[in-house]
Amino acid sequence: MIQTNKKTHAIGIEENKYKHLRTINPNDKVSIENSSIANEAFLFGILGALGMVMLLVTAQVMIGNAIVLKLLKFIALFAVLGYGINAQGTDNQNNYNFKNGIQFSVISTVTIAISLALINILIFWILPNVAFDTLSTQADSIRQLVLSSRIFFLETLVFGMIITFIILRGNKTK
């Protein structure tokens, strides 16, 4: 049974009350739970990292140029974060704000960066010639592998946050 109360803009449906979107009362705002954002961002980061690894391994085998691989990594990171932020904003519509976008992106970017660094180490143990190289080092030893994975992690983290601010600024004008 549907009941409406015009004074509070509340709609009662089968004994549950839902606030109308035009209600202006900060105490009754629906907030997105941080754990929900964290879970979705973590899952999205893992899936995004796996997709980026498939793209980068394919490009490493076919092209092998470190500069092209960096460009592909940043383009793929831009696509992954752009899709994730827009999907998160669409799912949460009126309850989505800049802070939620930052939370989602930080968790996703850190997850992607850690996953890419760990997968790079795993790939080195399986197929050393396919491991991702940085511009300054090529992974020939364990020391160079750790250094290149660390550089890979930091690059992904820094550029992921820069890309996040570009995407969120672009979404703000919409």
Same domain, 39 and 72: yes
The dihedral through the CA atoms of 90, 93, 98, 101 has a sign that is negative
Same domain, 19 and 97: no
Helix (H, G, I), strand (E, B) or coil at 140: coil
Domain that holds residue 119: 32-172
| Residue 116 near residue 152, CB atoms below 8 Å | yes
Of residues 81 and 136, more confidently modeled: 81
| Residue 75 near residue 59, CB atoms below 8 Å | no
Same domain, 91 and 102: yes
Q: What does the alpha-carbon distance between residue 76 and residue 94 come to, in Å, rounded to a whole number? A: 28
Same domain, 10 and 79: no
Same domain, 13 and 57: no
Same domain, 72 and 114: yes
In the chain, how many domains are there? 2
Q: How confident is the model at residue 17 (pLDDT cuts 50, 70, 90)?
A: very low
Q: How confident is the model at residue 6 (pLDDT cuts 50, 70, 90)?
A: low
Across the chain, mean pLDDT equals 76
Q: How confident is the model at residue 135 (pLDDT cuts 50, 70, 90)?
A: low
Of residues 141 and 81, more confidently modeled: 81
Same domain, 24 and 50: no
Same domain, 52 and 138: yes
Same domain, 95 and 134: yes
Same domain, 21 and 93: no
